[in-house]
């Protein structure tokens, strides 16, 4: 007699439970997704027992007695029939595992009443021992109640985190569901106390403000043959201390994806300081054939056919939008709407303030390139704009330009402003392949450490495109004989050392753009007016006029704000002239 035997269903379900509902947050996610798949418009969630007890009530389609009998069995689903369906999913669930797993590790009750039925039926499961459906109190939809989660699997119970951590994870799940379904009404009680009430919203932007409390939102949409993106984010000044405020959704599923998160960070790169993270929500939709959602039991990780091209699009859409002018006020929200038609080259219209209206050419590069070099906007087309429209009052502390318009008074950091302009000029020059270069009569020698000379020399051609020409002059040194006019000679060693350090710590192909951005930021920083330098009114006016050529001028390349402002409204309130 052999040793191999078939496992009992109950054991199989318990094993599956470890994967599908490893913790209360996963259980909650499964129940919520079932309600959404049942077309619910209202959901009430009650959490107790530190997350080990969850009740979800919805007003969805409900289950009839036949379905109630089957739904706790393993691999029973109403959502797919064959493997083909997996590639055209319209529902959240499809594996038919959640209810069977959950009901095998909890005291479980499911009460349901489809609209066509006059009575409700209920099934229960006591750690896997199921009841037959029996009549119960009526309701409109379905109620699922889970209690004593993992009571029969002490090993699993032991793995639960501290109550606060489990509840916090559950709140994240609730927020993610609210964000993916703005039209849903969701009410959440924890230990009998109202925790959230999110009424239905008519847009994702509205939902982001309601659920996450993000302020000063920008809204961007993008579409081409690779992906449809909708991105909502706060002005960079609302930066957070962690990456937790970056939310990613693919086909409306909340996903964890480090690479796409990185794309968001890259998009914000020059607008945030070290250690600051953006507040940003990204919804990605791709052709269902381009994505596999079945790579992870909780479906929180998905696989994209071409993650690189998504990376570039997310990065670019955010970066591009941040480079658009923003009304400088402390309180107003001016969501910028970004609409793109499909076939490249694409014309983008930016319905912003009249004085700032600008047409932008946007060519999407559809083939993956080694270095993504967008042929886009931000060319220095100077117009009479926001900054030059300000009236210069004078210089303060030899560091700030004091200016005003009808609405506000402004302090503009002269160094930061100039730095931003220099940075944008370098970018524009690089994009157009024309950077003004000065040849040096005497080459400048820069000492590097032996490991970096190699990698730096490998990028010689790239450096040359940036206007920096050099040759290796020794085992540990390079000799620089040409540099961009904008860079001062004494900045050269700094620029090289910093770039070399960056090259050393980064290796992925896209990263050259990051290196470039750092390089430009360093170059810019070393080439501009310092604080403590007296400026004439004429000089100040010129600086402001130049800022209009580069609409991203609100932040210096290191992410510091370039200007701060006080609306007269605010000032009058502070002085008690106004309520
Ligand atoms: P899946 O969602 O992958 O199909 P589940 O185990 O989560 O598997 O659910 C099994 C089936 O039970 C679903 O396919 C659906 O038909 C039904 N069901 C579960 N929850 C609900 C609900 N809240 N309302 C209506 N039907 C439900
Ligand atoms: Mg399900």
Nearest CA to ligand 1 atom 20: 34
Once rounded to an integer, what is the mean pLDDT over residues 474-491? 83
pLDDT at position 336: 34
Ligand positioned closest to the Cα atom of 85: 1
**Could you tell which of 26, 75, 93, 104 is best to mutate to test the pocket of ligand 1, judged by most ligand atoms within 8 Å of the CB?**
93
Once rounded to an integer, what is the mean pLDDT over residues 154-159? 87
pLDDT at position 74: 79
Cα gap 42→184, rounded to integer Å: 6
Nearest CA to ligand 1 atom 8: 96
CA of 103 to the centre of ligand 2 (A): 13
- Cβ 480 vs Cβ 442: under 8 Å: no
337 alpha carbon, distance to own chain's centre:
17
Ligand 1 contacts CB of residue 214 (under 6 A): no
**Could you tell which of 21, 27, 37 is best to mutate to test the pocket of ligand 1, judged by most ligand atoms within 8 Å of the CB?**
37
pLDDT tens by residue, 76-113: 888 777 777 777 777 887 778 899 999 999 999 999 99
pLDDT at position 547: 87
447-to-40, 496, 506 alpha-carbon distances in Å: 66, 9, 21
The closest-lying atom of ligand 1 relative to the alpha carbon of residue 92 is 2
pLDDT at position 418: 87
Instruction: Please say if the pLDDT value at position 150 is more than 80.
Output: yes
CA of 35 to the centre of ligand 2 (A): 8
Burial 126-156 (b: 16+ CB within 10 A, else e): ebbebeebeebeeeebbbbbbebbbebbeeb
pLDDT at position 88: 72
- Cβ 455 vs Cβ 504: under 8 Å: yes
Rg of the chain over Cα atoms, rounded to whole angstroms, equals: 29
- The one-character DSSP state at 355 is G
Ligand 1 contacts CB of residue 58 (under 6 A): yes
Ligand 1 contacts CB of residue 98 (under 6 A): yes
Whether the full predicted model's pTM is greater than 0.85, yes or no, is: no
396 bridge partner residues:
400
Nearest CA to ligand 1 atom 23: 35
Ligand 1 contacts CB of residue 142 (under 6 A): yes
pLDDT at position 382: 55
Nearest CA to ligand 1 atom 13: 77
Ligand 1 contacts CB of residue 321 (under 6 A): no
pLDDT tens by residue, 423-439: 888 877 777 777 788 88
pLDDT at position 106: 95
pLDDT at position 555: 72
Once rounded to an integer, what is the mean pLDDT over residues 48-77? 93
pLDDT at position 541: 92
pLDDT at position 465: 76
Once rounded to an integer, what is the mean pLDDT over residues 148-171? 92
Ligand 1 contacts CB of residue 435 (under 6 A): no
DSSP assignment of 43-85, as one string? EEEEEEGGGTEEEEEE-S----HHHHHHTTSTT--SS-SSGGG
- Cβ 278 vs Cβ 216: under 8 Å: no
Once rounded to an integer, what is the mean pLDDT over residues 314-318? 93
Ligand 1 contacts CB of residue 62 (under 6 A): yes
pLDDT at position 8: 81
Ligand 1 contacts CB of residue 94 (under 6 A): yes
The closest-lying atom of ligand 1 relative to the alpha carbon of residue 144 is 23
Element (DSSP H or E) covering residue 540 = helix 537-549
Ligand 1 contacts CB of residue 554 (under 6 A): no
> pLDDT band for position 379 (50/70/90)?
very low
- Cβ 250 vs Cβ 291: under 8 Å: yes
Once rounded to an integer, what is the mean pLDDT over residues 524-545? 82
Ligand 1 contacts CB of residue 29 (under 6 A): no
Once rounded to an integer, what is the mean pLDDT over residues 227-238? 93
Q: Please, which residues have CB within 8 angstroms of residue 521's CB and are 6 or more apart in sequence?
A: 270, 419, 423, 557, 558
Ion ligand 2 residue ranges (Cβ < 5 Å): 34, 93, 98
CA of 33 to the centre of ligand 1 (A): 9
Which of the residue ranges 177-191, 492-506, 546-560 has the most confident prediction, judged by mean pLDDT?
Answer: 177-191
């Amino acid at each position: 007699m052999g040793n191999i035997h078939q496992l009992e269903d109950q054991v199989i379900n318990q094993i599956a439970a470890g994967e599908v509902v490893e913790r209360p947050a996963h259980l909650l996610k499964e129940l919520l997704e079932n309600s959404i798949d049942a077309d619910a418009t209202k959901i009430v969630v009650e959490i107790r027992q530190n997350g080990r007890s969850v009740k979800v009530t919805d007003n969805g389609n409900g289950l009839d007695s036949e379905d109630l009998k089957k739904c706790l069995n393993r691999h029973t689903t109403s959502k797919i029939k064959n493997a083909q369906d997996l590639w055209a999913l319209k529902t959240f669930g499809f594996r038919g595992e959640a209810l069977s797993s959950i009901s095998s590790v909890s005291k479980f009750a499911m009460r349901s009443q489809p609209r066509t039925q006059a009575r409700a039926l209920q099934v229960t499961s006591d750690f896997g021992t199921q009841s037959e459906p029996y009549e119960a109190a009526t309701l409109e939809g379905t109620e699922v109640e889970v209690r004593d989660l993992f009571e029969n699997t002490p090993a699993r119970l032991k793995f639960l985190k501290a109550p606060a951590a489990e509840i916090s994870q559950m709140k994240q799940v609730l927020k993610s569901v609210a964000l993916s379904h703005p039209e849903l009404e969701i009410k959440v009680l924890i230990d009998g106390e109202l925790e959230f009430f999110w009424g239905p919203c008519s847009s994702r932007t509205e939902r982001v403000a309601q659920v996450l409390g993000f302020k000063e939102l920008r809204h961007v949409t993008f579409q081409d043959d690779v992906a449809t993106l909708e991105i909502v984010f706060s002005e960079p000044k609302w930066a957070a201390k962690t990456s937790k405020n970056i939310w990613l959704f693919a086909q409306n599923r909340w996903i964890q994806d480090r690479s796409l998160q990185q794309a968001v960070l890259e998009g914000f790169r020059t607008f945030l300081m070290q250690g600051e993270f953006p507040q940003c929500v990204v919804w990605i939709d791709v052709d269902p054939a381009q994505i596999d959602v079945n790579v992870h039991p909780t479906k929180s990780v998905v696989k994209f056919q071409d993650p690189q091209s998504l990376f570039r699009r997310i990065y670019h859409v955010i970066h591009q939008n941040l480079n658009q002018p923003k009304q400088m006020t402390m309180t107003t929200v001016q969501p910028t709407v970004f609409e793109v038609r499909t076939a490249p080259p694409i014309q983008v219209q930016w319905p912003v303030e009249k004085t700032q209206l600008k047409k932008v050419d946007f060519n999407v590069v559809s083939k993956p390139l080694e270095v993504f070099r967008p042929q886009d906007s931000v060319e220095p087309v100077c117009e009479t704009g926001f900054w030059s429209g300000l009236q210069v009052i004078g210089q303060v502390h030899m560091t700030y330009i004091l200016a005003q318009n009808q609405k506000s008074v402004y302090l503009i950091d002269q160094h930061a402003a100039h730095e931003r302009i220099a940075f944008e000029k370098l970018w524009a020059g690089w994009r157009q392949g024309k950077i003004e270069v000065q040849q040096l009569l005497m080459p400048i020698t820069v000492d590097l450490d032996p490991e970096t000379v190699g990698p730096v020399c490998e990028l010689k051609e790239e450096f040359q495109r940036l206007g920096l020409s050099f040759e290796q002059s020794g085992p540990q040194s390079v000799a620089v004989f040409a540099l961009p006019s904008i860079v001062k000679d004494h900045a050269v060693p700094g620029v090289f050392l910093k770039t070399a350090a960056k090259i050393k710590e980064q290796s992925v192909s896209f990263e050259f753009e990051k290196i470039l951005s750092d390089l430009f930021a360093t170059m810019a920083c070393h080439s501009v007016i310092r604080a403590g330098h007296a400026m004439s009114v004429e000089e100040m006016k010129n600086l402001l006029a130049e800022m209009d050529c580069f609409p991203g001028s609100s932040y210096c390349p290191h992410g510091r704000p370039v200007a701060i402002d006080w609306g007269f409204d605010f000032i009058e309130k502070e002085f008690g002239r106004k309520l």
